[in-house]
Amino acid sequence: MSGPDKPKVIGEEWSDERVKSFLAIEPYDQAIDADYNALLKAYQAMRAEDFERFVRFFSESGRDLNAVDEQGETILDLIARHRRSTAYADILQAAGARTTTAGS
């Protein structure tokens, strides 16, 4: 719960352990790909600098950067539609992520 007694923290430094903890996040629905879910949750929660470290840990763990959601889209497909997320898209592309759209 948020409120006046719990102010929003901006610019908080994340340890490697905290970033790596997102590797263990499981989807609530078994129909959702665990790799896609972990990438989505990390993208939603992390600053670009932390997300970059997460993507490195994710790849080193042998996880799939090109896992798809229920509509057959990769996390890069989703992020590429967000105007203010170019840094995240660049991080994913540098790590080898692809979109499912033609020409990518």
Domain ranges of the chain: 16-94
Would you say residue 78 has pLDDT above 60? yes
Q: Over the chain, what is the mean pLDDT?
A: 88
Mean pLDDT throughout 5-31?
82
Q: Can you list the pairs that 24-29 forms with residues at least 24 positions away whose Cβ atoms lie under 8 Å? A: none
Torsion of CA 61, 66, 70, 71, to 10 degrees: 170
Handedness of CA 85, 83, 69, 41 (dihedral sign): positive
In this predicted model, which residue has the larger pLDDT, 94 or 28? 94
pTM of the full structure = 0.84
Q: What percent of the chain has pLDDT over 90?
A: 75
Looking at residues 76-101, what average pLDDT do you find?
A: 94
